[in-house]
Amino acid sequence: MKSSLIIFAFFLAGILTGLSGILPVAFDFDTYGNYALFVLMFLAGVSIGSDKQSWRVLTTHNYKIIWVPVTILVGTMAGSALVAFILPSLTLRESMAVGAGFGYYSLSSVFITQLHSHTLGVVALLSNIFREVATLLVTPLLVKYFGKLAGIASGGATAMDTTLPVISKYSGKEYAIVAVFSGIVLTILVPFLVTFILRA
Amino acid sequence: MIAILIVLSAGILVGLLLVSKPKLHNLNSQLLNGAIYLLLFLLGISVGTNQEIIRNLGKIGYEAISIAVASITGSVLLSGLLFKLLFKKK
């Protein structure tokens, strides 16, 4: 929650700076964008590779647990694909790319900005922040009506960190490890999936 | 797309070499956070100077919430099914 406030503050400060007109020339994001994307991709890769916990969790022997991120992946893609049919302003690729952020708003919005457009990057930022905040708010209800995996499903990639406390509180501590596993798998998938959806 | 995936995979390989070097590991996560903050600040600037986005902010917000609600609903419904099939203790 605190980190999403910091992220949003940086974004908002940028908007206000832009609106104020104190910048001498129009800022050209795209000139630097491609290099920035490569740097970001590389750093994201290093953080995935150097995280001991991710490799340990990924070699878990409980096969059931593997179905959790698979289910969340399929459900998220199906849900976001449906939006493209209801809202004519979004194409199937666009709505699925935003959904493929799984709540990991910082990385997904920056990737989508570089790979597609500024407008869709903003949609991704707001949509994925909303996914995290909604998870924090409605997990108690979701767990009550849809079972103990519901908070993990709603949280997506954030189930490994920001929404983990609320998940562990309402689904029980034994589900914390499931949440971390599922969150790590989805977090690793975000850059691959977003690139694949927009560029394949 | 291939270039991006190669860079990402190269990062993961470098990361694997750093598993036993927590200091560099920390430095990397600070760099990653800094890069994300900087890029979101720059994204904010390009949004603030982009009349089309400012004019459509309502529509953008509506799309964002729709995708989030649909994503949550889809994954929660399926996870409910999975819970009943594999996880629920009888």
Domain-wise residue ranges, chain A: 30-45+63-199
Nearest residue in B to A193, CA atom: B5
What is the overall mean pLDDT for chain B? 86
What's the average model confidence in pLDDT over B38-62? 83
Looking at residue A56, what is its pLDDT?
66
B2 in A contact zone (CB under 8 Å): no
Residue A108 and residue A95: Cα distance in Å, rounded? 13
Q: What is the token pair recorded at B70?
A: 């649909």
Nearest residue in B to A86, CA atom: B66
The tally of CA atoms less than 13 A away on the side-chain side of residue B90 is 3
Q: Give how far B52 is from chain A: nearest CA, Å.
A: 9
Dump pLDDT digits (tens) for A133-146: 899 889 999 999 99
- What percent of chain A has pLDDT above 70? 88
Nearest residue in A to B9, CA atom: A45
Looking at residue A60, what is its pLDDT?
60
Looking at residue A147, what is its pLDDT?
95
Looking at residue A25, what is its pLDDT?
63
Cα dihedral B71, A48, A198, A113 sign: positive
Q: What is the token pair recorded at A119?
A: 């407008």
Is a pLDDT exceeding 80 seen at residue B5? Answer: no
Looking at residue A120, what is its pLDDT?
95
CA separation (Å) from B36 to A4, A5, A6, B45, B59?
12, 14, 11, 14, 25
Is a pLDDT exceeding 70 seen at residue A58? Answer: no
- Say which residues have a Cβ less than 8 Å from residue A21's Cβ, sequence separation at least 6: none
A1 in B contact zone (CB under 8 Å): no
User: What's the pTM value of the predicted model, to 2 decimals?
Assistant: 0.81
Is a pLDDT exceeding 70 seen at residue A181? Answer: yes
B18 in A contact zone (CB under 8 Å): yes
CA separation (Å) from B2 to A48, A196, B9, B29, B79?
19, 10, 10, 25, 33
When mean pLDDT is compared across A11-20, A26-35, A137-146, A174-183, the lowest value belongs to: A26-35
Residue A170, Cα to own-chain centre: how many angstroms? Answer: 22
Band (pLDDT 50/70/90 cuts) for residue B72 is: very high
Residue A182 and residue A3: Cα distance in Å, rounded? 20
Residue A190 and residue A20: Cα distance in Å, rounded? 34
Dump pLDDT digits (tens) for A77-136: 999 999 999 999 999 999 999 999 999 988 899 889 989 998 999 999 999 988 988 998
Q: Are A98 and A124 in contact (CB under 8 A)?
A: yes
Q: What is the token pair recorded at B17?
A: 């070499």
Q: What is the token pair recorded at A199?
A: 């560029």
Residue A92, Cα to own-chain centre: how many angstroms? Answer: 18
Q: Are B64 and A32 in contact (CB under 8 A)?
A: no
Dump pLDDT digits (tens) for B13-28: 898 888 888 888 788 8
Please state the length of chain A.
200
Looking at residue A33, what is its pLDDT?
59
A29 in B contact zone (CB under 8 Å): yes
3-state secondary structure of B90: coil
Q: What is the token pair recorded at A70?
A: 């698979």
DSSP sequence for A78-141: HHHHHHHHH-TTS-HHHHHHHHTTTT-HHHHHHHHHHHT-HHHHHHHHHHHHHHHHHHHHHHHH
Q: Are A69 and A181 in contact (CB under 8 A)?
A: yes
